[in-house]
Amino acid sequence: MYTARGLQATMNKEHRISRRAWLAGGAALGSALKLAERDAAAQDPQPGGVNKRSAPSNLRITDMRACRIASGLDYPIIRIDTNQGVYGLGEVRDAGVEGIALVLKPHLIGRNPLDIEPLLDQIRKFANHLHLGGGYSAVDIALHDIAGKVYGVPCWRLLGSKYRNRVRVYCHLPSTKDPKAFAEGVRRRKEMGFTFFKTSWSADLVAKIPGAVNRENGAATDKGLKLMCEVLDMIREAIGWEASLALDHLGYRLRVNDCIRYVKALEPYQLAFAEDVLPALPGELGHGGNISRDWRRFKEIKEATTTPLAAGEDLFGLEEGFRDFIDNQAIDIVHIEPLTAGGIRETKRIADYAAMRSIPAAVHCCVSPLGTIANVHAIATFRDFMAMERDSIYLDQPWWQELVTGVPKPLIQNGYIPVPETPGVGVELNEEVVKQHLRVSGYFEPTPQFDKYILDDYRPGGPIPRAGEPAKPAAK
């Protein structure tokens, strides 16, 4: 039995032992930590880590400049500069103008480009459908490019996780007017690894045949539809039934009943989708673009056929453009043009929202290699994806893919584009090649004409001047 004095002595002895053990362990731990520090110092910095040459909290936008590349459907490119030397590249939708982005410049100057969503929220009110979404979308891409470079990660990582390492591409088929040239074009595309094709299909194919087209509304008659289907027979025979086939530009004057006739005639051909089947007629919402924004008429067509319907390339934003089509199951596929829809981040929002309702996404793409790779970043994060478009300029103009550096060439490999792992968008402009193809003279020249506010919804000028006194300068 312990006495009080004996118990205290025992405890003191145990304390001395445990303290010696603790000191020994601490010394060992310290040695291990020093060894780890030496090992870490000997290692190369982690690839894709934080860019220590930048100070993210102090990063500020200082300028926005632009250039325009000639391509038929021209490519307006913007560059957002910062006070730390890092810059971001973005692109306005094809056949747009750089001014639609440059007017947003005063809303961005002095702000931190890493505050992507607050900045986009501020300028969202200036975006709209058709090509009027191009300025907002270009800014979105440039901001993500900057953020990726600062943090040392690809743009797709800023959005979340990657579902695929490469993106399937669908290409345009050549004209069927010359059967020999058509067959050669199909052969070439197959050799390049394409397995998904798209072509235009409208009454223009039979316009010169008596009795094939209704002259009142431009729709094909039953005779005309039969002849148009014979063209599809030739196309299916050339590409094979195992290949995916989509149709576009069914007609610019079609009404619902004629659209239903068309898509029912297409059912035996097992299409991937028929795109933008219902145009907006004069006086209707969306006139001037590729589709009507009346989801009810699309739903009427969808319920009358098994041919999948795709639409959306002229729509901006989830809430503004796509949500009614998705919520009401009016289409089978959302066909997003990221450079109209709102850029990288908004495109993912649209695709994810559609996927929750079992609607896959396809992507419209007739832009430069910069915009194309920006699209690839967004697509990498889609849950449910079909394919991305690539128009025939890729095939016809070898200089097209040389507009950028930083990605493997050829850009499209066996019908797919690899998803970049490099920071930001992962491409830089090839200045020499770009300068050879400028539509407008000047390569990222200063834009002082856009320093002052051109667009705003509410901007008071300042206090009311007193009698006899000049007005004070407008508030910035």
Is 206 in the same domain as 80? no
| 198 contacts 176 by C-beta, under 8 angstroms | no
Q: Which residues of the chain have pLDDT under 70?
A: 1-54, 474-476
CA dist., res. 129 & res. 349, Å (int): 16
pLDDT of residue 37: 36
Residue located via tokens 């068309």: 262
8-62 confidence digits (pLDDT tens): 444 444 444 444 444 444 444 344 334 333 333 333 333 444 465 568 999 999 9
CB atoms within 10 A of CB 406: 15
307-346 confidence digits (pLDDT tens): 999 999 999 999 999 999 999 999 999 999 999 999 999 9
Q: Considering its fold, how many domains does the chain have in total?
A: 2
CA dist., res. 47 & res. 25, Å (int): 34
pLDDT of residue 117: 98
Is 210 in the same domain as 252? yes
| 416 contacts 165 by C-beta, under 8 angstroms | no
Count of CA atoms in the C-beta half-sphere (13 A) of 380 = 24
CATH number at residue 330: 3.20.20.120
Per-residue CA distances from 54 to 80, 82, 89, 150, 378 (Å): 16, 10, 18, 6, 25
Is 134 in the same domain as 247? no
pLDDT of residue 389: 98
Is 149 in the same domain as 167? no
Residue 325 lies in a domain: yes
pLDDT of residue 139: 98
Residue 113 lies in a domain: yes
Residue 466 lies in a domain: no
Is 207 in the same domain as 111? no
Q: Which helix (H) or strand (E) element contains residue 384?
A: none
| 140 contacts 345 by C-beta, under 8 angstroms | yes
Domain around 65: 56-156+440-450
Is 151 in the same domain as 181? no
Residues in Cβ contact with 288 at an 8 Å cutoff, skipping those fewer than 6 apart: 130, 280
CA dist., res. 263 & res. 254, Å (int): 12
Residue 16 lies in a domain: no
Is 194 in the same domain as 335? yes
CATH number at residue 139: 3.30.390.10
Is 114 in the same domain as 132? yes
Residue spans of beta strands (DSSP E) within 3-87 = 61-69, 75-82
Is 216 in the same domain as 323? yes
pLDDT of residue 475: 62
Per-residue CA distances from 119 to 26, 145, 291, 320, 340 (Å): 50, 14, 30, 18, 18
Widest CA span in the chain: 121
